[in-house]
Chains A and B, each alone.
Chain A
Amino acid sequence: MSESASDDKRGESYVFPDMQENIGHIRRMLGDPADLVIRIISIGGGERSCALAFLSGLSDKAVIDEQIVRQILKAGRFGQEDTGMDISEVLGGLRNETMSVSQVLEVNLWSDVIKAVLYGDTAMFLEGADDVLLIGTQNWKERSIDEPPTEALVRGPREGFTEKIETNIGLIRRGIRDMNLRFVSYTIGRRSRKTLILTYIQGIIHPAIVEEARRRLDTIDIDDAPESGFIEQWIEDSFLSPFPQLLHTERPDKVRAALLQGKAAVMLEGTPFALILPTTFVALIQSPEDYYERWLIGSLIRLLRYLAVIIALFAPAIYIALVSFHQGMIPFKLAFSIAAAREGVPFPAIIEAMVMEGTLELLREAGVRLPKPIGQTIGIVGGLVIGEAAVQAGVVSPIMVIIVAVTAISSFAIPSYSAGIAFRMLRFATMLAAGILGLFGIILTFIMISTHLVRLRSFGMPYSAPFAPMFITDWRDLVIRSPVTFLTKRPEFIQTKNINRANKRGKRS
């Protein structure tokens, strides 16, 4: 099947006039699979007959039964051979007067036929005709539109993308009823032939971004892209960076907001995760809820998340540095209580921290893999029992357990899961640096991370904008999320073609 499909891509072979020959050919090409259904019907019960070919798992049986087979059986006037009608007229008649299906195409290339059947359409071969009718009967079981489990919000729409690309396009269109909304379609995968959609709003987005995105998408040549992660890794700017340069999301509202900011999104068939490009560092820390809640609450939550990033990156490192090098910087009484708690702990702080953080990562990974009910048990066993037992046994100090717990909680407060992983990864680097060089090492790592962030780019956009190339107007929506009436401009750093997004004075009539 696979070989003939790729051979036919060159489009040299045409459909035969003989129906039986066609049936034989399609059987041969697909390797006579179990799910290929061939149905031969005589039209209107007359002498003329036709054959329907479709794949049972991909096609809508109800439509084929009711709207195609039944209508053909009733179309008596096309069934007689002596009506004087030309065979192409018969085909046209069947197409235009018989089928009560909206999508019907007339083709004569085998490659088109095979492709359509593999997508779930039905091919109708008419005895003696040069052309084939392709009838749109695609239908496969689809998950309902649920709240995305990885990005749940307290307040906000409860809809999430599904695996079906048409549904996802619909979800975006449903929120932006603008004629400038564009969906550019690509076929990805030499063998999987999946649909990929690049979407943006013409007139808002800077054309260079679209151009660059199209150029990169055009380079993708892979047999299959099972998930948008493959696309992300193919088109990202730097594969060495720990930071995700495209933001993935399951939330249509997040994608819509990005489109209106002048960004683009990539959606792949078969995965609910859309990619937003270009992405900045601060976008990883923002959540749609910042905007849905009132501005004071939104700003505070956002500040809290910046704090979470700092804790997730540096808390264990600072603990190590203070305990192993700079005891003089710890307040008087705290220093003694840490010293007392560490009395009898056999490891230096760096080893202690590495062991505990490593255990935590193990627990997290185990919790993800296990079925839900067991996962919770693991959380309790790991978090409470191991922690408590380790302290009781004197292997780690209680303060280390507190530090590890706070760090873990902070790293899960970061909305983007992949950004959370990036910070956790860098945490081990800061811990090592602190263990070797103390606070000086932490500062060195901080400088290295900052340097990397500043020179990183996402689709040509500086990753650290609007911090590092400073765009002061964008600071309204950065650390502090200003009231909605103040957010009248689209982000400046992204150089949108259309700047205003709201009129502060409101509607004047």
Chain B
Amino acid sequence: MSKLLRGLVAAASLILAAGCWDRVEIEDRGFVVGSAIDEGKDGAYELTFQYIVPSAMQGKSAGGGHPSAQSFQNVSSTAATLFKAARKMSNETSRPPYLEHNKIIIVSERLARAGKIQEVLDLFVRDPEMRRAAKLMISVGQAKKLLEIKPPIETLPVQYINSTSENPQKSESIVPATTMGHVHRFLLEEHSFAIPRITQTDSKVSLSGAAVFGSDKKMKGFLDGEETTGKNYFSGTIKAGAVEVEIEGKPLLFEVKRASRTLYANVSDPESPAFTVNVRIEGNVGETYSHVDLLDPQVIRMIENRVSDKIREIMYVVLEKLQKEYKADAIGLSDYLNENHYRVWKKIAADWDRGDHLFSKCKVDVKVHTRLRIIGAIERVQPEGE
């Protein structure tokens, strides 16, 4: 009997002593939904966390509660390391930060240009509480300002930014959201990459554009909206788009419904591989003010050619900028070489977009094939001959 008793005591203390130690009730967590990292004084980091205020959020969705209360609270603290900064925050808030629901990380342009992106990311990748799915963005100007926008539609600034970053379905000038996991990989592979740029205008943000990083982990510069479109065509990440062309002096909008990209490389001379980029586009006439007969195959050919020329033009602009100005292969040519011409790639990898900068010298030929599939539900708006 005493044996049984002893066993029971052992089992109970095992369970009770080992259990519960990491139990924190949901209402005691300080949910951080977004973080912003700026440069502080003397090389220190200024970390800003956006905490949610659950009771205020509930009030907004259920119609009761405190409708006037702010649904979020931003807390900043400065320290030489981010971890220390986060710890200092615990002194100032009643609920310790909990980062599993951290959706976005905004890094200021200055930090990125100074090549500190990997230092900044170290904590976010190392700490098991962090999610690799958090999206990384580069802000023009101060990052923490972006977390203070009061969006009229959404309850949280972060929700606003997060939802906007998922809009590539409708916009061609947003780079697909890049998560911390991706960036971690790029950094490890010493790979050039582009991540979304976020700019603030009054009480709005814009995610159009991209920040380009070279293989030396320093930010080289931004791409504007149209250049980002070109970059997206190169990477094959176009989901939807709109191309404006002129037909008989009046605008016609071509809506891109489907786009695909195929790459081909001629590596007979490993020192300067020649690429052919084939872009296939399908789409409709979205809007037009001209009176051309859209049922005429000749006209359709003409529209298709104009669209192809326009897209090719956009692509060459961004190519030029990446090759000559930023010297960073953010359009995935190196991936193609790595996957398809491994031996050649092994030899030139070290000199691709650093060292000898072979990327800047290589020849890229762009071919765009457009197909106009649907002219719209109507043939014309005005009567013929008007």
Residues of A within 8 A of B (CB): 323-325, 327-328, 330, 332, 335-345, 348-349, 435-438, 441
Give chain A residues whose Cβ lies under 8 Å from the Cβ of B24.
Answer: 324-325, 327
Determine whether the beta carbon of A343 is less than 8 Å from that of B31: no
Residues of B within 8 A of A (CB): 15-16, 18-20, 22-27, 29, 31, 33, 52, 54-55, 57-58, 61, 98, 100-101, 103, 129, 131
Instruction: Given the known inter-chain contacts A339-B54, A340-B54, A343-B55, please indicate yes or no for A324 contacting B103, CB distance below 8 A.
Output: no
Provide the bound-state CA to CA distance between A387 and B45, in Å.
Answer: 50
Give chain B residues whose Cβ lies under 8 Å from the Cβ of A349.
Answer: 25-26
Instruction: Given the known inter-chain contacts A327-B100, A328-B100, A332-B103, please indicate yes or no for A342 contacting B57, CB distance below 8 A.
Output: no
Determine whether the beta carbon of B26 is less than 8 Å from that of A338: yes
Name the prevailing secondary structure of the A interface residues.
Answer: helix
Contact of A341 (CB < 8 Å), options: B23, B31, B58 = B58
Provide the bound-state CA to CA distance between A189 and B33, in Å.
Answer: 71
Determine whether the beta carbon of A342 is less than 8 Å from that of B23: no
Give chain B residues whose Cβ lies under 8 Å from the Cβ of A348.
Answer: 23, 25
Give chain A residues whose Cβ lies under 8 Å from the Cβ of B58.
Answer: 336-337, 340-341, 343
Between B22, B27, B101, the greatest number of chain A beta carbons within 10 A of the residue's beta carbon is seen for B27
Determine whether the beta carbon of B15 is less than 8 Å from that of A436: yes
Instruction: Given the known inter-chain contacts A325-B22, A436-B20, A437-B19, please indicate yes or no for A339 contacting B101, CB distance below 8 A.
Output: no
Look across to chain B and name the residue whose beta carbon is closest to the beta carbon of A322.
Answer: B26
Report the minimum CB–CB distance from B224 to chain A (whole Å).
31
Provide the bound-state CA to CA distance between A30 and B26, in Å.
Answer: 73
10 A-B pairs within 8 Å (CB atoms) are namely A324-B25, A325-B23, A327-B101, A335-B26, A336-B58, A339-B29, A349-B25, A349-B26, A436-B15, A436-B20
Provide the bound-state CA to CA distance between A337 and B52, in Å.
Answer: 11
Give chain A residues whose Cβ lies under 8 Å from the Cβ of B57.
Answer: 336-337, 340
Give chain A residues whose Cβ lies under 8 Å from the Cβ of B23.
Answer: 324-325, 348, 435, 438
Give chain B residues whose Cβ lies under 8 Å from the Cβ of A339.
Answer: 26-27, 29, 31, 52, 54
Instruction: Given the known inter-chain contacts A337-B58, A340-B54, A343-B54, please indicate yes or no for A328 contacting B101, CB distance below 8 A.
Output: yes
Contact of B25 (CB < 8 Å), options: A323, A332, A336, A341 = A323
Give chain A residues whose Cβ lies under 8 Å from the Cβ of B98.
Answer: 327-328
Give chain B residues whose Cβ lies under 8 Å from the Cβ of A323.
Answer: 25-26
Contact of A336 (CB < 8 Å), options: B18, B31, B100, B131 = B31
Give chain A residues whose Cβ lies under 8 Å from the Cβ of B103.
Answer: 332
Give chain A residues whose Cβ lies under 8 Å from the Cβ of B54.
Answer: 336-337, 339-340, 343
Give chain B residues whose Cβ lies under 8 Å from the Cβ of A340.
Answer: 54-55, 57-58
Between B18, B55, B98, the greatest number of chain A beta carbons within 10 A of the residue's beta carbon is seen for B55
Provide the bound-state CA to CA distance between A324 and B27, in Å.
Answer: 9
Report the minimum CB–CB distance from A240 to chain B (whole Å).
15
Give chain B residues whose Cβ lies under 8 Å from the Cβ of A344.
Answer: 27
Report the minimum CB–CB distance from B156 to chain A (whole Å).
9
Give chain B residues whose Cβ lies under 8 Å from the Cβ of A327.
Answer: 24, 26, 29, 31, 98, 100-101
A324-B25, A336-B58 provided; 10 other pairs, C-beta below 8 A?
A323-B25, A325-B22, A327-B98, A328-B101, A337-B58, A343-B27, A344-B27, A349-B26, A437-B18, A437-B19
Provide the bound-state CA to CA distance between A336 and B52, in Å.
Answer: 8
Determine whether the beta carbon of B31 is less than 8 Å from that of A342: no
Provide the bound-state CA to CA distance between A345 and B28, in Å.
Answer: 11
Provide the bound-state CA to CA distance between A438 and B131, in Å.
Answer: 20
Give chain A residues whose Cβ lies under 8 Å from the Cβ of B33.
Answer: 332
Provide the bound-state CA to CA distance between A438 and B57, in Å.
Answer: 27
Of all A-B residue pairs in the complex, the 8 with the closest CB atoms, nearest first, are A328-B100, A340-B58, A436-B19, A340-B54, A339-B54, A342-B27, A323-B26, A343-B55
Provide the bound-state CA to CA distance between A327 and B57, in Å.
Answer: 17
Provide the bound-state CA to CA distance between A438 and B24, in Å.
Answer: 11
Determine whether the beta carbon of A328 is less than 8 Å from that of B131: yes
Contact of B31 (CB < 8 Å), options: A325, A335, A436, A441 = A335
Provide the bound-state CA to CA distance between A342 and B16, in Å.
Answer: 25
Report the minimum CB–CB distance from B106 to chain A (whole Å).
18
Give chain A residues whose Cβ lies under 8 Å from the Cβ of B100.
Answer: 327-328
Provide the bound-state CA to CA distance between A438 and B54, in Å.
Answer: 23
Give chain B residues whose Cβ lies under 8 Å from the Cβ of A337.
Answer: 54, 57-58, 61
Provide the bound-state CA to CA distance between A216 and B54, in Å.
Answer: 62
Provide the bound-state CA to CA distance between A332 and B16, in Å.
Answer: 31
Report the minimum CB–CB distance from A502 to chain B (whole Å).
52
Provide the bound-state CA to CA distance between A328 and B100, in Å.
Answer: 5
Contact of A335 (CB < 8 Å), options: B16, B25, B55, B101 = B101
Provide the bound-state CA to CA distance between A436 and B24, in Å.
Answer: 12
Provide the bound-state CA to CA distance between A344 and B27, in Å.
Answer: 8
Provide the bound-state CA to CA distance between A446 and B262, in Å.
Answer: 50
Provide the bound-state CA to CA distance between A336 and B61, in Å.
Answer: 11
Provide the bound-state CA to CA distance between A336 and B50, in Å.
Answer: 14
Determine whether the beta carbon of B26 is less than 8 Å from that of A324: yes
Give chain B residues whose Cβ lies under 8 Å from the Cβ of A325.
Answer: 22-24
Give chain B residues whose Cβ lies under 8 Å from the Cβ of A335.
Answer: 26, 31, 101
Provide the bound-state CA to CA distance between A441 and B101, in Å.
Answer: 24
Report the minimum CB–CB distance from B32 to chain A (whole Å).
11
Report the minimum CB–CB distance from A330 to chain B (whole Å).
8
Provide the bound-state CA to CA distance between A328 and B31, in Å.
Answer: 10
Provide the bound-state CA to CA distance between A344 and B26, in Å.
Answer: 12
Between B24, B33, B54, B131, the greatest number of chain A beta carbons within 10 A of the residue's beta carbon is seen for B54
Report the minimum CB–CB distance from B105 to chain A (whole Å).
16
Report the minimum CB–CB distance from A394 to chain B (whole Å).
12
Provide the bound-state CA to CA distance between A339 and B32, in Å.
Answer: 13
Look across to chain B and name the residue whose beta carbon is closest to the beta carbon of A342.
Answer: B27
Look across to chain A and name the residue whose beta carbon is closest to the beta carbon of B18.
Answer: A437
Give chain B residues whose Cβ lies under 8 Å from the Cβ of A441.
Answer: 19
Give chain A residues whose Cβ lies under 8 Å from the Cβ of B52.
Answer: 336, 339
Look across to chain B and name the residue whose beta carbon is closest to the beta carbon of A338.
Answer: B26
Look across to chain A and name the residue whose beta carbon is closest to the beta carbon of B162.
Answer: A332
Report the minimum CB–CB distance from A351 to chain B (whole Å).
10
Report the minimum CB–CB distance from B221 to chain A (whole Å).
33
Look across to chain A and name the residue whose beta carbon is closest to the beta carbon of B158.
Answer: A332
Report the minimum CB–CB distance from B190 to chain A (whole Å).
31
Report the minimum CB–CB distance from A445 to chain B (whole Å).
12
Look across to chain A and name the residue whose beta carbon is closest to the beta carbon of B100.
Answer: A328
Give chain A residues whose Cβ lies under 8 Å from the Cβ of B18.
Answer: 437
Look across to chain B and name the residue whose beta carbon is closest to the beta carbon of A329.
Answer: B100
